[in-house]
Structure 1
């Protein structure tokens, strides 16, 4: 079976700081390990992070947001729930697909067509969290089984409640950030 989904593509190399692209920086708030701030130049917005805080030792299912620097690869959006976000990053409609989180599966940490027998996260959600979703270059090339999957930059729940390991911001903030991001943009967590 061939996948006719728009899959995120890895760019040849992540630019070094100061070369090209931009960096969004995420830090936790000292009082709440699951809340943080995201800074991008002069823009500073609140964000939610994983229920397990930020970890340098990310493992599948631990609820932690992985520390590191990850390129923003692909923006997906729900056409039925809003207009196409403005961005110089690649933008495509969110496919009716899943994201495999089964470490033993050959498509671990990748888009999968539905139905899928392996454990996966459904991307078309009833809530608005994935109405705008950005795939991060986290454990993708190659995907190492058990080191975490479906680490996205997406929309936050009201009250910025913890994520399962992603970084999440309010929709108006996401729209501003994506409009300012260009090729080579990355998110630095930790």
Structure 2
């Protein structure tokens, strides 16, 4: 008995879920597009003509936008749309940037976007051991996207964070407490914690008993030396780093210390209770940092940082050398909306 006869005799109908339906429709559309293309026709032009005729309106310069919202997009075939985006569970309606506009190398697999909000506390607040009053914190929102099957960016992580006591700047210099602005490729995963399953193979665990691992302010790299006096920079094995650097990732800013005086050791790392700001890094929930390291292991991870609503000059500012984004930026005056830590495996 074949499958069709079986369904007829039992009276049961197999209901296709939304994802399966979308996949089937996309496949049919791709087949139709291929047939039109090899037959000498432009698939998009054909659909535009159909839209124009059915809607009774000229497509003209709005053709691309019409096509974007046509059936191609509605079933998840167009970039930046589809059920992956809808089902991720990460709220994106308040984001101050358009993730599809970032210009990245073709190897990009993960994009971490940091939006900086109002500067509420300066150096004096930063120097306190803990600050319970969150109104004095310099807040940031971290949203991580993973490249989906269609090449669109799908949100997979969001977390509140804190940034530099001096706010954000694209003219950063060492000691000013600012978080740099720009777009870079992250590198050098490390931390005090033992590596989890799924961590990158190059993850380097900090072993405090060795007293050799430090982040050099001369090379802006993780270095090793048994001579303590040669360890110029952050001694990663010292006790102060245990919580903050449980999981860490270098943002790629000022790679190899190309720009002397711009600063070094600008990481994504963990925060701890009561921490109001950093010396320039972005510190987030440890669970979020742990998840980012797992995404890093799956392919190139890029980091974009700017004050909220000011990403226009950052979209095309990727720098292999870790340069800051060009342009003029101003401190955000907005307080960060309520943001929870959400992780989507």
Work out whether the TM-score is over 0.5.
yes
1:143 corresponds to which residue? 258
1:10 corresponds to which residue? none
Partner of residue 176 from structure 1, selected from 291, 305, 311: 291
Shift of 1:131: 1.7
Partners in 2 of 1:31 and 1:142 — Cα distance?
27
Shift of 1:180: 2.7
Query: Residues 107-163 of structure 1, C-alpha deviation per residue, up to 9 Å, x if partnerless?
Result: 342334241346421112324111212122111245221011111111112134211
2:141 corresponds to which residue? 37
Partners in 1 of 2:170 and 2:256 — Cα distance?
18
2:305 corresponds to which residue? 189
Shift of 1:165: 0.5
Decide whether the 8 Å contact of 1:154 with 1:169 is kept in 2.
yes
Q: Tell me which of the two structures has the higher relative contact order, counting C-alpha pairs closer than 8 angstroms and 6 or more residues apart.
A: 1
Q: Which runs of 5+ in 1 are unaligned?
A: 1-14, 102-106
2:269 is equivalent to residue 154 of structure 1: yes
> CA separation of 1:117/1:42 partners in 2, compared to 1, >3 Å: closer, same or farther?
closer
> CA separation of 1:35/1:18 partners in 2, compared to 1, >3 Å: closer, same or farther?
farther
2:11 corresponds to which residue? none
Partners in 2 of 1:89 and 1:55 — Cα distance?
33
Larger radius of gyration: 2
Per residue, is there more strand in 1 or in 2?
1
> CA separation of 1:63/1:133 partners in 2, compared to 1, >3 Å: closer, same or farther?
same
The two structures have a TM-score, normalised by structure 1, of 0.76
Where do 1:83-162 residues align within 5 Å?
Answer: 83-84=195-196, 86-88=198-200, 90-94=202-206, 96-101=212-217, 107-112=218-223, 113=225, 114-117=227-230, 119-127=232-240, 128-141=243-256, 143-162=258-277
Per residue, is there more helix in 1 or in 2?
2
Partners in 1 of 2:237 and 2:284 — Cα distance?
18
Decide whether the 8 Å contact of 1:70 with 1:188 is kept in 2.
yes
2:24 is equivalent to residue 24 of structure 1: no
Give the SS at the match of 1:179.
helix
Shift of 1:19: 5.6
Decide whether the 8 Å contact of 2:183 with 2:305 is kept in 1.
yes
Decide whether the 8 Å contact of 1:54 with 1:67 is kept in 2.
yes
2:61 corresponds to which residue? none
Query: Residues 55-96 of structure 1, C-alpha deviation per residue, up to 9 Å, x if partnerless?
Result: 111101111010011212121122xx4444633473122363
2:181 corresponds to which residue? 67
Partners in 1 of 2:220 and 2:229 — Cα distance?
13
Decide whether the 8 Å contact of 1:73 with 1:89 is kept in 2.
no
- For these two proteins, the number of residue pairs brought into alignment is 169
Q: Which runs of 5+ in 2 are unaligned?
A: 1-102, 121-136, 145-154, 307-345
